[in-house]
Structure 1
Amino acid sequence: MIGYYIHHHGHGHLARATSICAHLRNPVTALSSATLPGRNAAVFDEVVELPRDDEAVDAAVDPTAHGLLHWVPRHDDGLRRRMAALAEWITRARPRVMVVDVSVEVTLLARLFGIPVVVMAMPGTRTDAPHTLGYRSADHLIAAWAQEVYDPEWLHPYAHKTSYVGGISRFDGRRTPPDADDSDDRPTVLVMGGSGGSALSSGDFRSWKSRHTRYRWEGLGVPGGVWADDPWPSLCRADVVIGHAGQNTVADIAAARRPAVLVAERRPYDEQHATTAALHSAGLSVGLPEWPDPDRWPELIERARGEDPAQWARWQTSGAAARAAAIVDRIAEEEAPT
C-alpha cells in the first residue's frame, strides 16, 4: 500500500495527486483534510478524511515549535486528532512508502514510524529550518518542473535524491478539440484564476473587457466569476492566456501550448515569483511580478502572441505524471517488508 497525503488548500495538490495516482501500479490511499469528489477519488483504493488542524487559528500558541516546524499549535484538539488518525492508518495499513504533497509535519510523522517518504518539492526559496528538515529527512524529492528551465540552487544539496519529472498536467495526452465556427475574428484572451486566493477581482476583469474591446475576453476561475471544472476547451481556443503562476496552471497552459502572460500572486516563499521569473527568462511566457496597469494589456498580449508556443515543450509535461508514479512505485517495491 502507498499512502498519499494531499494538502487541502486550493485544488492544485489534489489535481496533481489524481494525475500521478492514475499511473500507479500499487494500491494507494489518499489522506487529506479536503473532501475528495467522487470523480477524483476513483483513482484511490481508499480515502481517509483527516481532521482539520487550522480551525482555531486565532488561538494558536507557538504554532512553529520555536521555528522548527510550520504548524503544530500547542494543545490544539484538531492537530491531536489529525496526528492520531494518521498514526492509526499507518499502523493499520503498514504502507511501503508515503508521498507527501505537502507538509513537513506529515513527512516527519511518517518517517518516525519508519516509513520511507517521497516529498513533492515546491518552487520558491525553501531554505527555512522546517523545509530543510523535511527535505533532509525525505527519501526522495520529486520536482514537478523541468530542471533545464528552473534549477534552484537550494535544491542542489539534495541532487542525489531529486527527480525533475516536468510539469504535471491533468490534460496530458488529451486531444485538442476542433475549432468551433465563429464569426467573431477578434483574438480571444482567456483569464484563468484559481482557488488558492488572488489579488485579481471580477471588477478588474470587467474593466479590462470594457476598456480593450479589440479582444474577446473570457474568464474562468476569476474570483466572483464563472468556475469551470473542465477548462480544457477554453484553454485550447484561447489566443493568449492570462493567469497566475501556480504549478498546475502553468502545466495546463504548457500542455495546451498556448501563448501566455503569467502573473506572480503572493504566496509563501515567493513560489510564484520564482516560477514567473524562470519562465520569462527561458522565453516560455511573458512573466510579471504583479498585476499590471490595465493600459498595458494590449502591449503584453501582443508580446505574448509574438512568442513561439512550441517552446512550452521544454516544460516537459508529456509523461510527467507517469514519470512521478514510476518513481513512487519503484520505491514502494524496493521497500516491500519481509
Structure 2
Amino acid sequence: MGLTGWYLHHHGAGHVTRFHAVRPHLPGEVVVFSSLPRPGTLPPATTWVSLTPDNDRPPGDRDPAGADPTVGGLLHWAPLGHAGHARRLAAIASAIADRHFDRFVVDVSVEVAIFVRLLGVPTVVVTQPGDRSDTPHRLAYASASRVLAPWPAGAHHGPATPGLVEVGGISRFDGRTRDIEPDPGTVLVLGGGVTENDLAAAAAATPGTRWQRAGGTASTWIADPWEALQRAEVIVAAAGQNSVADLAAAGARAVIVPQPRPFGEQVATGRILTDRRLAVVEPAWPGAAVWPSVLDRARGLRTDWSQWGVTGAARRAADTIAQVGA
C-alpha cells in the first residue's frame, strides 16, 4: 500500500471528521499535514505534521489579504512575502523530499494540490458542492489523478470533471444500527449559526415540543450524538456535507437551513435535498410563527435516505485513494 499523505484544511471540524471516517479502511501508513490541533489520539500507523496557520503574521509581515493572494485570480491563497505561507509549503516539501509518498489526499486546498503534484506526487483532490468552475478549482482538478466527491452518484455540481468519483455521503456513523425510536415532540438543533433568542422564540411558538441543541458551543457539544440523532423526532441542521451524511445514516426527518458559504456550497446541497425530497429546506432560519408548519412538514416526510449512498461510502473513498499510485 505504501505511504499516503493527507492534507486537512483547518476551517471547521468537517475535514478531520471525514478523515477519521475513511482512515480505518485505508491500509498502509498515513502522514497528515494540517494546522488544526493534533487530536489526542490518532489511528494506528498515522502521524501528524503540524503546519503554521495560513493567516499567521509575525510582527513586520505585510497583511496577506493585501499581498495579491489570488495571483490575479489564478489561485485562492498565495500571498506575497508571507513567511507563514512559505513555512507551510516548505514543511510539505521537506517531508516529500525525505520519503517516497505514493499518493497525497488534499482536503481541501488548490495551492497544496498543485504544489504536491509539482513535487511529483499523484493527488486525490476532495471536491465540495457548489460552483467550482473558477480557474483555481479547474486547475486543481485537472492536475489530480482522482477527484473524490463525498456526495451520491448523480448529484454532480457544475460541469463534468475528469477523474470524478462520487462515493456517497461519508458519515462517521456508517455501519451503526438504529435501535432507538424517535421521541415525539423532540427537536434537535445541530451546530451553530443560530442565536439563543431564535431558539427560544421557536420553542415558544411550538408548544408541546422540546428543543435541544447539540454543538455550536462548548457547553452544548456532544462528542457522540448518535443516540440524540435517533431520539429526535425532527432534526434541524445546516447543509454541511458531514451533517447531511450523518442525518442520512440516522434516517432522520430533517429541516435543513443552508448557511452562507463560498461558492454556494450549502445552497447547492439544499437544492439536491429538495429535488430528492429528503428534507424540508428553508432558505433562512424561519420566523417563530412559521415553525409549527415547518415541523409538521418535517414530521410528514417519508424519506429514502439510502439514495444518499452513505452505506459503504467511507470504504469506497478509501478504495479510490488506494488505487492512485498503487
TM-score, structure 2 length as denominator? 0.93
| Corresponding residue for residue 306 of structure 2 | 313
Give the letter aligned to residue 52 of structure 1.
P
The reply to whether residue 208 of structure 1 matches residue 208 of structure 2 is no
User: Which of 285, 293, 302 in structure 2 is aligned with 1:299?
Assistant: 293
Contact 1:21 1:43 in 2 (8 A): no
User: 1:100-158, CA deviations, whole angstroms, 9 ceiling, x for partnerless residues?
Assistant: 0000010011100110000011000001111111111111111111123x22232x142
Q: 1:3 deviation in Å?
A: 0.3
Point out where structure 1 has 5 or more consecutive residues left out of the alignment.
334-338
Give the letter aligned to residue 172 of structure 1.
D
| Corresponding residue for residue 336 of structure 1 | none
| Corresponding residue for residue 59 of structure 1 | 63
Distance 1:93 1:256 in 2: 41
User: Which of 4, 7, 10 in structure 2 is aligned with 1:5?
Assistant: 7
Partner-residue secondary structure (3-state), 1:22: helix
User: Which of 158, 162, 165 in structure 2 is aligned with 1:153?
Assistant: 158
Contact 1:117 1:139 in 2 (8 A): yes
Give the letter aligned to residue 106 of structure 1.
V
Question: In 2 relative to 1, CA 97–239 (structure 1 residues): closer, same or farther, beyond 3 Å?
Answer: same
Partner-residue secondary structure (3-state), 2:111: helix
The reply to whether residue 254 of structure 1 matches residue 248 of structure 2 is yes
Q: CA RMSD in A?
A: 1.7
Distance 2:221 2:185 in 1: 22
The reply to whether residue 238 of structure 1 matches residue 232 of structure 2 is yes
Contact 1:119 1:142 in 2 (8 A): yes
User: Which of 126, 134, 143 in structure 2 is aligned with 1:128?
Assistant: 134
Q: Which one is further off, 60-69 or 314-323? A: 60-69
Point out where structure 2 has 5 or more consecutive residues left out of the alignment.
none
Partner-residue secondary structure (3-state), 1:218: strand
Q: 1:211 deviation in Å?
A: 2.9
Contact 2:186 2:234 in 1 (8 A): yes
User: Which of 10, 21, 24 in structure 2 is aligned with 1:22?
Assistant: 24
User: 1:150-206, CA deviations, whole angstroms, 9 ceiling, x for partnerless residues?
Assistant: 22232x142xx11110000001011224459xxxx7411111015xxx2x1222112
| Corresponding residue for residue 331 of structure 1 | 324
Distance 1:30 1:203 in 2: 40
Distance 1:157 1:221 in 2: 35
Give the letter aligned to residue 286 of structure 2.
P
| Corresponding residue for residue 92 of structure 1 | 98
Question: In 2 relative to 1, CA 285–179 (structure 1 residues): closer, same or farther, beyond 3 Å?
Answer: closer
Distance 2:137 2:286 in 1: 32
Q: Which one is further off, 237-246 or 323-332? A: 323-332
Partner-residue secondary structure (3-state), 1:37: coil
Contact 1:63 1:73 in 2 (8 A): yes
Distance 1:268 1:152 in 2: 14
Aligned residues: 319
Give the letter aligned to residue 256 of structure 2.
L
Give the letter aligned to residue 303 of structure 1.
R
User: 1:8-67, CA deviations, whole angstroms, 9 ceiling, x for partnerless residues?
Assistant: 11100000011111110121111111013123x225521111111113498111111111
Question: In 2 relative to 1, CA 282–143 (structure 1 residues): closer, same or farther, beyond 3 Å?
Answer: same
Contact 1:21 1:44 in 2 (8 A): no
Give the letter aligned to residue 18 of structure 1.
H
| Corresponding residue for residue 268 of structure 1 | 262
Partner-residue secondary structure (3-state), 1:14: helix
User: 1:257-277, CA deviations, whole angstroms, 9 ceiling, x for partnerless residues?
Assistant: 011010110000000000001
Distance 1:78 1:269 in 2: 26
Distance 2:36 2:126 in 1: 18
| Corresponding residue for residue 189 of structure 1 | 187
